[in-house]
Amino acid sequence: MELSSNSLWKILTDRKMKKDILCQEAKISTHTMSKMIINVPVALMIWLQLSLLIRGWYNGKL
């Protein structure tokens, strides 16, 4: 199953959030973020962290 990051970028622009801030808050590397920007597959756990962070349920520990 392929995941697209297009909806993630739309949410970020709607909330006026920058990608580097998202990296810091989700505790993911900038390398992983750059892979997501060009739609290279990343681990499903990364997607889980990002979705929980956006919904406000992520406290930095999984």
Please give the pLDDT value at position 32: 93
CA distance linking residue 10 with residue 26, whole number of Å: 17
pLDDT tens digits, one per residue of 15-35:
888 888 888 888 899 999 999
∠ CA 30-34-37, nearest 5°, is 140
For residue 62, pLDDT beyond 70: no
CA distance linking residue 26 with residue 50, whole number of Å: 6
CA distance linking residue 37 with residue 42, whole number of Å: 11
For residue 2, pLDDT beyond 80: no
Please give the pLDDT value at position 29: 93
Reference 26, options 6, 46, 7; nearest CA is 46
